[in-house]
């Protein structure tokens, strides 16, 4: 590689800095313009020009299957447009999808030097540290907090969304990166100062997750932390049980326990879990009455659960009535009012509303063929990730990155059962950007480099 950095390298650095920090979107006519709308085409053009001029080169990592599966789902989307009542939303959805594919191909295949990979990593940690600190600051000073759902909170005066537009989106991103932060804090670094610094970043994101007041995300975060430690138990617990990390963990635990509404919201999260269990298992066989506050908490929780499950039922009805080709990519919102009018029991007070489940959205819009081809992308993603792990598990850094990515992407997949995170451009760009760079690093650099 030439001694000077390529334009491709600088544009990827800009992605790492700007995408997590800039959620703003403006419209030029019907066209939404955001950071990714500008940066991804620039990056694609730069790679084409620099590859032709031999300023960049591709690595040997085989991703043909990824590209095949991406292409298959894109073909299904095109076919589903034949069922759409509105073409424009479908075309927008497809253009966004193609941008993710181009980005993933570029960050996975373009070779970089060891110093450039390190620059990506340090820039990313610095960027997310800034975003996390802003999240805490915005809560402390009540800056632009989301007030939706505040009626169910006693002490908190809003929900943090930091540098994203919705607390649920921010919660999804937090859970995606928390496993990697934890592993590097505890296992990767040897010097106490670096361990504590990275643990502080981890702690900032745990606190941010609390401030989103997203119950499902809290549960997923707890499970993710437990699973992360269990996937590398010997190295994790050996280093975890040192005085400075024990003190840091206890301090974080005390802070979290005393944050506003943590105890009430935790009980509410438990009520959510119980609501999906058979009735005879919900009280553990005990005949106890709830206090007045607990009854109030449970009442608010039940309303939220009913609303969410009603939205899922709407998506399910759309899928059942359009099982083969769906009702057209990008057309769930276009048909929502029609369906809640046709089935009044599905109405939750809005003429247009998200299904809050990415998989139901795909099924409703592209049918069974679309849903299967969509899921195939993520099934292969985990197969590919597992293959890279077994090839490079002797290198500690690569091992930790892949374990963290496995758990983090699992939280992402799980939260898409209750939200449409895959269809949030800022969040999905970060998912494919981080995944691609990790796959690239793991393959390109020699082990223990």
User: What DSSP line would sit under 334-345, residue for residue?
Assistant: HHHHHHHHHSGG
Region of residue 57 (phi > 0: left; psi between -120 and 50: alpha; otherwise: beta): beta
Binned at pLDDT 50, 70 and 90, residue 446 comes out as confident
Counting Cα atoms < 13 Å in the Cβ hemisphere of 25 gives 15
Predicted local confidence at residue 334, as pLDDT: 95
Predicted local confidence at residue 15, as pLDDT: 97
Indicate whether 83 pLDDT > 50.
Answer: yes
Indicate whether 433 pLDDT > 60.
Answer: yes
361 exposure class (CB count in 10 Å sphere: 0-12, 13-18, 19+) = buried
Indicate whether 302 pLDDT > 50.
Answer: no
Which positions ≥6 away from 213 have C-beta within 8 Å?
149, 153, 156, 159, 167, 261, 265
Indicate whether 153 pLDDT > 90.
Answer: no
Predicted local confidence at residue 190, as pLDDT: 87
- pTM check: above 0.85: yes
Q: At what angle do helices 262-275 and 243-257 cross, to 10 degrees?
A: 80
Which positions ≥6 away from 174 have C-beta within 8 Å?
205, 208, 209, 212, 217, 221
Binned at pLDDT 50, 70 and 90, residue 298 comes out as very low
Rounded CA-CA distance 314/360 in Å is 9
Q: Residues 297-306: contacts with CB within 8 Å, 24+ apart?
A: 297/152, 297/264, 297/267, 297/268, 297/271, 298/268, 298/271, 300/151, 300/152, 300/268, 301/152, 301/215, 301/268, 301/271, 301/272, 301/275, 302/271, 302/275, 304/149, 304/152, 304/272, 305/272, 305/275
Q: Which of 49-58, 304-313, 388-397 has the lowest mean pLDDT?
A: 304-313
Indicate whether 276 pLDDT > 70.
Answer: no
Q: Which of 349, 339, 333 is nearest to 318 (CA)?
A: 339
Q: Residues 87-94: contacts with CB within 8 Å, 24+ apart?
A: 88/30, 89/330, 89/331, 89/333, 89/334, 90/328, 90/329, 90/330, 90/331, 91/330, 92/32, 92/330, 93/329, 93/330, 93/423, 94/329, 94/330
DSSP H helical ranges for 213-322: 215-231, 233-240, 243-257, 262-275, 292-321
Which positions ≥6 away from 185 have C-beta within 8 Å?
195, 198, 199, 201, 202
Higher pLDDT: 440 or 31? It is 440
Binned at pLDDT 50, 70 and 90, residue 285 comes out as very low
Predicted local confidence at residue 300, as pLDDT: 47
Binned at pLDDT 50, 70 and 90, residue 337 comes out as very high
Rounded CA-CA distance 96/92 in Å is 6
368 exposure class (CB count in 10 Å sphere: 0-12, 13-18, 19+) = middle
Beta strands of 29-88 (E only): which ranges? 31-34
Q: Write out the two tokens for 426.
A: 């800022």
Predicted local confidence at residue 157, as pLDDT: 84
Higher pLDDT: 32 or 242? It is 242
Counting residues of the chain whose pLDDT is more than 70, the rounded percentage is 87
Rounded CA-CA distance 63/65 in Å is 5
Rounded CA-CA distance 431/256 in Å is 27
Which positions ≥6 away from 165 have C-beta within 8 Å?
23, 426
Predicted local confidence at residue 152, as pLDDT: 65
Q: What is the mean pLDDT of residues 278-287?
A: 51
Task: Give me the chain's average pLDDT, please.
Answer: 90
Indicate whether 348 pLDDT > 80.
Answer: yes
Rounded CA-CA distance 126/21 in Å is 11
The single residue listed with the structure tokens 């939280």 is 411
Binned at pLDDT 50, 70 and 90, residue 349 comes out as confident
Counting residues of the chain whose pLDDT is more than 90, the rounded percentage is 79
């Amino acid at each position: 590689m030439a001694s000077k950095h390529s334009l491709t390298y600088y544009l990827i650095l800009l992605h790492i800095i700007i995408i997590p920090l800039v959620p703003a979107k403006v419209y030029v006519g019907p066209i939404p313009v955001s950071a990714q709308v500008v940066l991804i085409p620039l990056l694609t053009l730069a790679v084409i020009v620099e590859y032709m001029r031999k300023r960049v080169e591709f690595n040997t990592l085989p991703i043909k299957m990824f590209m095949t599966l991406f292409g298959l789902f894109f073909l299904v989307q095109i076919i589903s447009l034949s069922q759409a009542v509105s073409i424009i939303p479908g075309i927008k959805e497809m253009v966004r999808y193609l941008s993710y594919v181009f980005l993933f191909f570029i960050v996975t295949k373009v070779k970089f030097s060891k110093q450039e990979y390190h620059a990506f990593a340090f820039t990313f940690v610095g960027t997310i540290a800034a975003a996390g600190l802003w999240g805490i600051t915005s809560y402390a000073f009540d800056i632009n907090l989301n007030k939706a759902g505040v009626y169910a909170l006693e002490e908190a005066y809003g929900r943090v969304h930091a540098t994203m537009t919705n607390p649920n989106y921010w919660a999804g991103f937090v859970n995606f990166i928390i496993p990697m932060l934890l592993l590097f804090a505890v296992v990767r670094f040897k010097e106490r100062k670096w361990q504590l610094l990275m643990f502080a970043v981890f702690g900032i994101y745990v606190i941010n997750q609390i401030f989103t007041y997203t119950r499902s995300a809290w549960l997923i975060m707890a499970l993710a932390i437990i699973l992360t430690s269990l996937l590398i138990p010997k190295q994790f617990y050996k280093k975890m049980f040192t005085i400075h990390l024990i003190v840091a963990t206890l301090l974080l635990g005390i802070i979290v326990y005393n944050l506003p509404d943590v105890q009430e919201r935790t009980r509410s999260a438990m009520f959510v879990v119980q609501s999906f269990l058979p009735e005879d298992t919900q009280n553990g066989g005990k005949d106890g009455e709830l206090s007045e506050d607990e009854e109030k908490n449970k009442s608010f929780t039940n309303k939220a659960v009913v609303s969410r499950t009603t939205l899922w039922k709407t998506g399910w009805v759309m899928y059942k009535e359009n099982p083969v080709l769906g009702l057209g990519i990008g057309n769930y919102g276009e048909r929502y009012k029609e369906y809640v009018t046709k089935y009044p029991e599905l109405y939750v007070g809005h003429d247009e509303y998200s299904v809050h489940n990415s998989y139901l959205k795909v099924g409703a819009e592209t049918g069974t063929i679309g849903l299967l081809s969509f899921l195939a992308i993520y099934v292969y993603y985990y197969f590919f990730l597992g293959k890279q792990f077994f090839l490079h598990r002797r290198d500690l850094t690569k091992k930790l990155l892949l374990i963290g990515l496995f758990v983090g992407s699992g939280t992402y997949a799980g939260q898409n059962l209750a939200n449409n995170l895959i269809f949030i451009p800022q969040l999905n760009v970060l998912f494919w950007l981080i995944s691609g760079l990790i796959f690239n690093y793991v393959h390109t650099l020699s082990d223990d480099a």
